[in-house]
Amino acid sequence: MLDKTYDPKEIEARRYPEWESAGAFTAHPESTRPPYCIVIPPPNVTGSLHMGHALDNTLQDILIRWRRMKGDDVLWQPGTDHAGIATQMVVVRNLEQEGIGLAVEGAVKTDANKKLLSREEFLAKVWEWKAYSGGTITGQLRRLGASCDWSRERFTMDEGLSKAVLKVFVDLHKAGLIYKDNRLVNWDPKMLTAISDLEVESREVRGSLWYFKYPIEGSPDEFITVATTRPETMLGDTGVAVHADDPKWKHLIGKHAILPLVGRRIPIVADEYSDPEKGSGAVKITPAHDFNDFEVGRRHKLEAISIFDKFARLNDKVPEKYRGLDRFDARKKIVAEMEELGLLDKIEPHTHQVPYGDRGGVPVEPFLTEQWYADAKKLAEAPIAAARDGRVTFVPERGRDDFFRWMENIEPWCISRQLWWGHQIPAWYGPDKKVFVALSEEEAKADALKHYGKDVALERDPDVLDTWFSSALWPFSTLGWPDQTAALAKYYPTNVLVTGWDILFFWVARMMMMGMHFMPDVPFRTVYLHGLVTDEKGQKMSKSKGNVVDPLELIDKYGADALRFTMTSLAASTAGRLRFSSARVEGSRNFATKLWNATRFAEMNGAALPKDFDPASAKLIVNKWVLGELARANTAIDKALTDFRLNEAATALYEFIWGIVCDWYVELSKPVLQGTDGPDKDETRAVTAFVLRETVKLLHPVMPFITEELWDKLGHRADHGALIGQPWPAPAATDAAADAEIGWLVKLISDIRSARAELNVPAGAKLKLLVVGGNDVTAKRLDTHGAAIERLARIEGIEAAATAPKAALQIVVGEATYALPVGEVIDLKTEGVRLQKEIKKLADEVAKIDAKLGNAAFVSRAPEEVVEEQRERRQQAEQTRARLSTALERLGA
């Protein structure tokens, strides 16, 4: 006998290891079954599960479990990402606590950093940290129920994937698609590395606009006024730009200004970049520290003078007194000195966008350095074509437009990072800085020997690759590439990639680039994008806001199935954010309990499935009906999952299990199950068992734990093995006659209940049901379902009658009027009011339909079946209205 309530904790802890050790998640590349593959978006190896993971992985697991039951050979490829910058940051922070720093160039020992680690020492610490915390997130994914093939787990820095990274780098370099270039990059002065455009987030900052006067050469009293948000960069100015048509300044074009504080002679040039309406109309040009200025400088051949070091402190290209100053200290000093010189015209408050590094959290500095780049424009061509011709599709479709917008305007991808944790770039430099890119130092040496004609010392490039470089290879590197493995042959292209909108560009786009360059096809057929989980107010969850909900706490409290069901219901929103509230998880937990108790009911009533039971042989109407409802739910769930409308699958399951099975089928079957033994009882027990068996199958992808448990408790495990490996049900036929009959029954019972409640008939009072004007069909139905009606509507005795007695509730269903004599129990005036209300409602409906049917255009232009439907509805409403009027008259008689 099942316990009274469902206890997820104990069951989940037991079921997962059972599946895993039985090999239920294992892919079988050698099998002939069709492949179905999803690669997991690899979480950071040292991270822990957050709500985004819970959503993303629930959706993937649903698809995986569904396809597994459908008979596919599924592979859910798991693994973790080394997450270069993020992991390095965490370890650095941990070391700082111990007073340990990194021996990077320019680092000094201080009280806080008594010890400085070499690169090798630091990497050893990171691997140590990985060993310590690396199992956390995979353990948490298991708690969620994720049925990944853990025997194939990979890590972006394991041996095989590192080999793939090297090969990709070397091949792309050979093809000219990876190259070194000296151009402006986004420099993070805190992390001390270059970052890509995507890692920069612009934040709105309330700052100032400073107006500086630059003296004109040879004209001591004349000035040109420039407006800037970054006074400190003036030390690197090499020009001033004005618009060619600007009446205020155009007479100065071709002349020179003398840069204050520095004394440099800088040209005044005409450039479209200057907007006469903005600021003063004249712009100072600092080509080495601003992306726009860099372009202007290039157009006018202005020198680019880099004035910062990597910490964003002023370097020796500026007058001595400023050297070593931090950029923000320099700003204050420069503004003060300009004011002293009388060259500060004014200061205006100004709100503008400032680029921040998404990891370091400080403003990034456009910085002129040599970095490695991938030719993203070239690599984007094949992915764009694939998205255009439908080899890859997006759900929802507008993801495709976003994809195009990004891919068609893509800039070179800066792939080198000045970090220690990551894939070190396979490039070696000779004494003359000649670069040798090779798979190994030996090969590089061989190349060098060929080039120089003698052995020379080579020095390896110290930089590592952008984390997203290795994750871009994920769909094929995890399957064994560059080796031609059976798994690679079978599972590539993968079927669907499930991820959030936020990494469409970071990851999805780059997987497309690499996948299409190194493999013959797209990495995945479908990109399924979902929104971001936020708190109830729609705010992003963050530690600093203190609004983070921990999925593990929810699993502890409500169970993994409840969390999964909630996530599935949430997954519909076409909007970018999914507001999460714990109340919904509670509701999902209640849903689990409901199913648990329905099963408990079945158990208590001897529901059992005979070995050779054929549901098509069912004779009782109520059984035929529920089997039809089951088929309907089955169809709806399949359709929803096929269309990636997972929330609709959740809704269909909820409505079927709660609304159909629990609310009606269980109640309607009680008279039979609790009545005398015989074929009807046997059939109902069998159908109950059958429906529950199929239900746990249909629910399994969404709520795997409780369904596996119930499958076992229902006794199917002994004969068929675990639920996870069962074949997915195929929907049977529905029965229109049974639908109509149970529809009538449900309406009759509901109407009686409503009338009783509205008239405050005591819940315990049992009334007689008198049927007036019922036809043969109704008589037969009343006979069939009499027991159920008596039970559910609290009736005692059903009889035909010529007329209704005066003191009675009256309702109309179909052609018959039903009277429930109440004697003096109720106030007949109230009943009169109730009837009048009903009549008015129907009369309004009739009037509405009449207006439609009276419209000649409607009758002639609307489809025939729509018109017919309206006529039928009018007739029904009018008939019921007339009968209720009769009932009302009788009441007053």
Partner RNA sequence: GGGCGCGUAGCUCAGCGGUAGAGCACUGUCUUGACAUGGCAGGGGUCACAGGUUCAAUCCCUGUCGCGCCCA
DSSP 120-158: HHHHHHHHHHHHHHTTHHHHHHHHHT----GGG-EETTS
Contacts with RNA in 668-687 (CB under 7 A)?
670, 674
Part of the chain binding RNA (CB under 7 A), chosen from 271-279, 428-436, 667-675, 685-693:
667-675
Q: Which is nearer to RNA, 453 or 764 (CB)?
A: 764
In whole angstroms, what is the distance from residue 447 CA to residue 742 CA? 83
Report in angstroms how near the CB of residue 875 gets to RNA at its nearest.
13
Question: Could you tell me the smallest distance in angstroms from the CB atom of residue 261 to RNA?
Answer: 29
Structure tokens at 436: 């040798």
Measured in degrees and rounded to the nearest 5, phi and psi for residue 267 equal: -75, 150
Q: Say if residues 322 and 314 touch (Cβ distance below 8 Å).
A: yes
Q: Smaller CB distance to RNA: residue 198 or 527?
A: 198
In the chain, % helix, strand, coil (3-state, to 5) comes to 50, 20, 30
**Residue 604 within binding range of RNA, rule CB under 7 A:** yes
468 versus 481: smaller Cβ distance to RNA: 468
**Cβ atoms of residues 297 and 238 within 8 Å:** yes
Q: Which among 420, 352, 309, 359 has a CA at the least distance from the CA of 198?
A: 359
Q: Which amino acid is at 256?
A: H
Give which of 279, 264, 190, 269 is closest to 234, Cα–Cα: 264
Residue 698: CB minimum distance to RNA, A:
17
φ, ψ of residue 673 to 5 degrees: the values are -65, -30
Residues 76, 601, 690, 705: which binds RNA (CB under 7 A)?
Answer: 601
Choosing from 391, 441, 858, 878, the residue that interacts with RNA (CB under 7 A) is 858
Nearest to 518 by CA among 487, 473, 458: 473
Question: Smaller CB distance to RNA: residue 218 or 349?
Answer: 349
Q: Which of 182, 202, 803, 875 binds RNA (CB under 7 A)?
A: 202
Task: Mark the segment that binds RNA (CB under 7 A) among 39-47, 395-403, 634-642, 813-821.
Answer: 395-403
**x-marked contacts with RNA along 406-425 as a string, rule CB under 7 A:** ---x----------------
- Distance in Å, CB of 549 to RNA, minimum: 13
The residue among 174 and 398 lying less far from RNA, judged by its C-beta, is 398
Q: In whole angstroms, how large is the CA radius of gyration of the chain?
A: 37
Nearer to RNA, 8 or 42 (CB): 8
CB of 363 to RNA, least distance (A): 15
Could you give the CA distance from residue 477 to residue 161 in angstroms, rounded to a whole number?
6
* Site map 487..506 versus RNA, x via CB under 7 A: --------------xx--x-
Give the nearer residue to RNA in terms of CB position, either 102 or 653.
Answer: 653
Chain centroid to CA 605? 43
Within 634-727, strands assigned E span none
- Residue window 696-735: x/- pattern of binding to RNA, with contact defined by CB under 7 A: ----------------------------------------
Nearer to RNA, 861 or 871 (CB): 861
* Mask for 635-664, x = binds RNA (CB under 7 A): ----------x-xx--x--x---x---xx-
CB of 350 to RNA, least distance (A): 14
CB of 164 to RNA, least distance (A): 27
Residue number with CB closer to RNA (203 or 720): 203
Q: What is the 3-state secondary structure (H, E, C) of 394-439?
A: EECCHHHHHHHHHHHCCCCEECEECCCCCCECCEEECCCCCEEECC
Amino acid present at 528: Y
Give me the 346-375 binding string for RNA, x by CB under 7 A, dash otherwise: -------x----------------------
- The whole-angstrom separation of Cα 224 and Cα 232 is 18
Please give the C-alpha separations between residue 181 and each of 131, 178, 185, 372, in angstroms, as whole numbers.
Answer: 37, 10, 10, 6
**CB of 624 within 8 A of CB of 735?**
yes
DSSP tag of 863: -
Instruction: Pick the binder of RNA from 198, 234, 742, 887 (CB under 7 A).
Output: 198
Are 199 and 358 a contacting pair, CB within 8 Å?
yes
Among 226, 387, 554, 598, binds RNA (CB under 7 A): 598
Nearer to RNA, 80 or 605 (CB): 605
Task: Judge contact between 54 and 553, C-beta under 8 A.
Answer: no
Least spacing, CB of residue 761 vs RNA, in Å? 10
Q: Please list every residue from 524 through 583 that binds RNA, using CB under 7 A.
A: 536-538, 540, 572-579, 581, 583
- For the chain, the straight-line distance linking the first and the last C-alpha, in angstroms and rounded, comes to 57
User: Least CB distance from residue 34 to RNA, whole Å?
Assistant: 29
Q: Where are the alpha helices (DSSP H) in 721-760?
A: 736-758
Q: Based on CB atoms, which residue is closest to RNA, 337 or 663?
A: 663
Q: Number of C-alpha atoms within 13 angstroms, CB side, residue 234?
A: 33
- Of residues 784-813, those binding RNA (CB under 7 A): 794
In this structure, the chain runs to a length of: 893
User: Binding marks (x or -) toward RNA, 158..197, rule CB under 7 A?
Assistant: ---------------------------------------x
- Cα separation of 662 and 626, whole Å? 11
Query: Distances in Å between the alpha carbon of 187 and those of 289, 355, 406?
Result: 10, 10, 22
Residue 226 CA to residue 238 CA, distance in Å, equals 13
Task: Restricting to residues 456-475, name those near RNA by CB under 7 A.
Answer: none
Separation CA 417–CA 185 (nearest Å):
11
Closest by Cα among 131, 129, 153 to 141:
153
Shortest CB 837 distance to RNA, Å: 9
Instruction: Write out the binding residues for RNA, residues 818-857 only, by CB under 7 A.
Output: 852, 855, 857
* Interaction pattern, residues 729-768, with RNA; x per rule: CB under 7 A: ---------------------x--xx--xx----xx----
d(CA 464, CA 425): 5
Distance, in Å, from the CA atom of 891 to the CA atom of 893, rounded to the nearest integer, reads 6
265, 405, 720, 766: which one contacts RNA (CB under 7 A)?
405
Does position 321 interact with RNA (CB under 7 A)? The reply is no
Number of residues that bind RNA (CB under 7 A): 74
Cα 47–589–138 angle (5° rounding)?
A: 20
Q: Where are the beta strands (DSSP E) in 263-409?
A: 265-270, 282-285, 344-357, 365-374, 393-395
Indicate the residue among 341 and 604 with the shorter CB distance to RNA: 604
Name which of 235 and 641 has its Cβ closer to RNA: 641
Compose the 93-132 pattern: x for residues touching RNA by CB under 7 A, - for all others: ----------------------------------------
Query: Which residue stretch of 111-119, 360-368, 587-595, 616-624 sits at the interface with RNA (rule: CB under 7 A)?
Result: 587-595
Q: Give least dist CB 637 to RNA, A.
A: 14
Toward RNA, which CB reaches closer, 50 or 794? 794
Q: Which is nearer to RNA, 642 or 855 (CB)?
A: 855
Q: Which of residues 265, 298, 332, 398 is near RNA by CB under 7 A?
A: 398
